[in-house]
Amino acid sequence: MSIESDHQDHEFQRKKTAYFQKFMLRHMDEARKYKKYGLLNEEGSEGWRNVARHQLLSAVMAETLSELLGRTSEETAKITIDSLLHDVEKRRQQEGKSKNEVWKDEFSKNKRPFVATSSNFTGAADWGDEEKILRWLDSSVGEKSAGNFFGVREPKNLPPVIIVPWRDRVAGFKINKVEEGDLGREKYGMSTWEKLEQIMTTIESGLFQRIIARNPELAERYNSPSQLTELVEDRIHERILSS
């Protein structure tokens, strides 16, 4: 059952709201940075609030995924905080630039980037757990609007931020972000989104296999790497119900 679907159970909705509020209370230092960087409650911030929502949902997923993988409490805390902040400077980085300037600046970087914020996949073959998890998370949280995930965004009426199977997001990118996709052809020998598809398939398979190896009882319900999003979402749903 989707935690971000139009769930009609009022008790579940109440518990979900409380769960996310408690999560942010545990991370107040990070929450303060949302305001500092203009993502909340200031003039002109309306169109950026979904960046904060995207980071929050990504971080809840990060904590859940990290624990499913059996990572240490220290590793889980770090990946959760990194996910909470991975786009925190996006407004300052992008305001005053055209989208083409943003893309070209990103693709001109030759050093290994902080992958969760980037369509520059330099050094992907050498990514560790942190980078792979952040990349998977960032590709698995998006907006739902006008019947799809890539509708018009009105700053004062933003669409819901939801968990999205990454294949759906990439399919949308191929249709709606053609120019950014074409920029990857010289760098990767394929479009940006074809490269992301390739990387995500590898990441998804590796994470899924590790989770099933550590939690063999899950194999009865989840038998394909493509179910990783469903698995993580179901685990969050269970946590909300038991909170």
CB 135 within 8 A of CB 116: yes
Residues 174-190: pLDDT tens digits? 998 898 899 889 889 99
pLDDT over 90, % of the chain: 48
Q: Among all chains, which residue has been given the structure tokens 């942010």?
A: 24
CB 157 within 8 A of CB 146: no
pLDDT, position 92: 65
Cα–Cα distance for residue pair 212/222, rounded to 1 Å: 8
Cα–Cα distance for residue pair 216/193, rounded to 1 Å: 33
Q: What is the mean pLDDT of residues 34-43?
A: 73
Q: What is the mean pLDDT of residues 41-66?
A: 80
Residues 194-204: pLDDT tens digits? 999 999 999 99
CB 237 within 8 A of CB 4: no
CB 75 within 8 A of CB 66: yes
pLDDT, position 26: 95
The crossing angle, in degrees rounded to 10, of helices 166-176 and 178-188 is 100
Whether residue 60 has pLDDT greater than 50: yes
Whether residue 7 has pLDDT greater than 70: no
Residues 117-176: pLDDT tens digits? 577 787 888 889 999 999 999 899 988 764 444 444 455 566 678 899 999 999 999 998
pLDDT, position 150: 43
pTM listed for this prediction: 0.84
Strand partners, 141: 163
92 backbone dihedrals φ, ψ, rounded to 5°: -65, -35
CB 136 within 8 A of CB 130: no
